[in-house]
Amino acid sequence: MLGKLFGRSAETQGHPHALPPRKQKHGTYALRALGDARVLALVEAADAGDWAAVKAALAPFDLGREQAVLGQLTDVDGVEEWIVRAAEEDKDDKELRATALLISGARHVAWGWEARTSARAVDVGREQWQIFYERLGIAEERLLEAAELRPGWVTPWRHLLTSGRGMSVDDSVQEARLAAGLRRDPLNLDIHLEWVSHLQPRWGGEPGEATEFAQKAFAAAPDGHRLGCVIAMARIEEWVESDDRECLQQPRIRAELREAAERSILHHAYERRLGWQGDYNIFAMALSLAGSSTASNVFRELEGVITEWPWTFMSDPEKAYARFRKAF
């Protein structure tokens, strides 16, 4: 393993780009910009609407393949207002234009969901739906153009799966997008996680369908691959869909999650890349809900670091994280 590159032990590990942790609350803290000074510089440049600075800060990253970094940009308010103009400035540079379109498209997907909110469909107002669809429509146009300009990129297809789910496009279209993403990266975790969401009953899927998809996908992955998170996320989604808050506390599910963790994030071959804490948080929540003692190993490695996803499924994410962490 590469060791704890970020988090409270970051400075002792000597990682040159590590950010110091924020003050803890409930024994937990969220990392700024994935805990990396380079990502923070990128986010700050985007927040300032400085396209030249954004381009410079993007140098270490490949947004076409790195969803963790792209995800930081999609949360920046106001990016949608200037990024298209930036794309026009670089219309003769195919890669830069594609990058701007990708950022714009991904931001419009997130911005669309901000308008819709996480409320049940029946509780979403007419005006909210209208704004939601308008923003997703813009997202689709820009993501498709980015994908056309850079055929090897996988992240446009990940976000097209999200926008397509929101717009209720035909299953055949969604399946084509899934296939397009997997052709570019057969073991891409983000593509698989999007499909797990797509297969949920609340989006028209059948009970158990997502879990079966996840099991088949991870079975084809090598030891130490982060794709094991698809098992954990499928079980979390199963818990979300169920009225039984103890539905994951079955011996077979507990064993499945323990084995998935041991063969992925807890395996010696697992590589702690930028954003690795997100993988650990997915397992921390799933193992906790299942009542598995393996959760203690995951929480120990996290050292109090909480990521927004998937804890947003909890009414009070930080308290839930702290409660589970203390329990194990």
pLDDT in the model for residue 249: 97
pLDDT in the model for residue 121: 65
pLDDT in the model for residue 13: 42
Q: pTM of the predicted model, to two decimals?
A: 0.92
pLDDT in the model for residue 25: 67
Contact 325, 299 (CB under 8 A): yes
> Measured between alpha carbons, how far is residue 20 from residues 5, 131, 309 in Å?
11, 38, 21
Give the residue among 27, 38, 116, 110 at the shortest CA–CA distance from 74.
110
Across the 328 residues of the chain, what is the mean pLDDT of every consecutive 10-residue run? 35 63 74 93 96 95 95 94 86 91 96 75 72 93 97 98 95 97 98 97 94 98 98 98 96 98 98 96 98 97 94 94 94
pLDDT in the model for residue 124: 67
Tokens for 219?
């079975």
b/e string for 113-128 if b means 16 or more Cβ within 10 A? bebbeeeeeeeeeeeb
